[in-house]
Homo-oligomer: A and B are copies of this chain.
Amino acid sequence: MTTARRDTYTPETLLSVAVQVFIERGYDGTSMEHLSKAAGISKSSIYHHVSGKEELLRRAVSRALDELFGILDEEHARVGSAAGRLEYVVRRMVEVLMAELPYVTLLLRVRGNTDTERWALERRREFDHRVAALLKAAAVEGDVRADVEVRLATRLVFGMINSIVEWYRPEGPDGRGGAGGAGEGEVVDAVVRLVFGGLRKAS
């Protein structure tokens, strides 16, 4: 586990440590005592920065949600055919997931026992609906198959993308990731190819 030294300590470090502890112990199973030990600072020092663990959770999932919603505001997500915009969004989702791996992992594990968790789930659903709307528009424009119901297709595509958090690990100093050496670009290309073209060989 990452342990912050007192002399290099910043609120950013606290957030990063808290996210690791939340992922390892589960949010419910994490106490301020656990956070204090992992961060190497006293509980009162933590309270100097945040009101409690729920604020840390909110900041952490906000970071993931802001990055995800940010994708939808990017030019290629707003201009062009729905299918083209959808492909861009899928590509960027995978990129954000890998760049913000712990934050997205935590977001995906949120269950909904507190206000912050319910809020995060609501925002996730909103994001899902935005992508589903894009998929629906692409089907209407005739560029995407219409024989799989939109919500079902969205769930399955998100399922493939989100499953990356289970095995992807950023590249180590040896330039190889933990996923049998699959680099970031390779994963992004694979997802885009499979989501749009499937396994079958393009004829």
In the complex this chain forms, how many copies of it are found? 2
Nearest B-chain residue to A143, judged by Cβ = B201
* Distance of A131 from chain B, by nearest CB (Å): 12
Instruction: Tell me, in angstroms, the Cα distance from A179 to B201 when the chains sit together.
Output: 31
Instruction: Tell me, in angstroms, the Cα distance from A135 to B202 when the chains sit together.
Output: 16
Knowing A159-B159, A159-B166, A163-B159 are in contact, say whether A201-B152 is a contact too (CB < 8 A): no
> Interface size bucket, A side?
35 or more
Query: Are A156 and B200 neighbours in the complex by a CB distance under 8 Å?
Result: no
The residues of B that contact A145 with a CB separation of less than 8 Å are: 193, 197, 199-202
State which of B189, B193, B201 has its C-beta within 8 Å of the C-beta of A142.
B201
A7 adjacent to chain B (CB < 8 Å): no
